[in-house]
A and B are shown apart, each in its own frame.
Chain A
Amino acid sequence: GAVVSQHPSWVICKSGTSVKIECRSLDFQATTMFWYRQFPKQSLMLMATSNEGSKATYEQGVEKDKFLINHASLTLSTLTVTSAHPEDSSFYICSAQSIPGLAGGYEQYFGPGTRLTVT
């Protein structure tokens, strides 16, 4: 099946520093990738939609200058949390959308997530 990887799995950083999270589709091409954050015992919250070769579309309330998204190729999207603060501590998950198959549907495959702790 389709595999999506994220790197790193876990990161601890100091307040004020920037952290980059990578999301890769390993065995398929993904024109669209999504970035989510999840707080404990809550559902996934979509942050932004990342399309290869174009600017990301951010959800309302998500600061685009703070959460920089780059989708430079069909297999890689990156999320950079700039000037991180303790309230940015969360579980960040990406998903990659496959190209429609014969059934016409769009399948989503999730990465394993990155746990960010800002001290």
Chain B
Amino acid sequence: EDKVVQSPLSLVVHEGDTVTLNCSYEVTNFRSLLWYKQEKKAPTFLFMLTSSGIEKKSGRLSSILDKKELFSILNITATQTGDSAVYLCAVLDDKIIFGKGTRLHILP
């Protein structure tokens, strides 16, 4: 059965800390892995990863994919309170499969 597993489910850190969010997957026909940030409304797109070992960066956020070990990580450095959100990982094969998300809370 295709599945996407995120860990941890919930994380609370202080502003300025660095966090690493994990996403592992098992799918039949992998096409892409996507990361999203969801606050109060619909998710906003962060990264799309298709190739192993190539880090994608956007400001303090970065992500990398390992297609051999079937996982991806999302790093956030120098966290700010505005980073508080649910971070969703999704894998696209013949359809899209979401993980349950990691709820990140940044304390001021």
Contacts and interface: CB of A to CB of B under 8 A. Distances in A.
- Does A pair with B? yes
Interface stretch (A14-22, A70-78, A80-88, A110-118): A110-118
B98 A43 contact: yes
Interface of B: 31-32, 34, 36, 41-45, 48-51, 86, 88, 90, 92, 95-101
Given A42-B100, A44-B98, A46-B96, 14 more contacts: A43-B88, A43-B101, A45-B98, A46-B98, A104-B50, A105-B50, A107-B32, A107-B45, A108-B45, A108-B48, A108-B92, A108-B96, A110-B42, A110-B45
A119 interface: no
Contacts, number: 58
A84 B90 CA distance: 29
Give the secondary structure class of B's interface: strand
Contacts of B92: 97, 106, 108
B96 A95 contact: yes
B42 A43 contact: no
A6 to B, nearest CB: 8
A91 to B, nearest CB: 8
Interface of A: 34, 42-46, 49, 57, 93, 95, 97, 103-113
B32 A105 contact: yes
Nearest to B86: A43
10 contacts: A46-B96, A46-B97, A49-B95, A49-B96, A103-B51, A104-B50, A105-B31, A106-B31, A112-B41, A113-B41
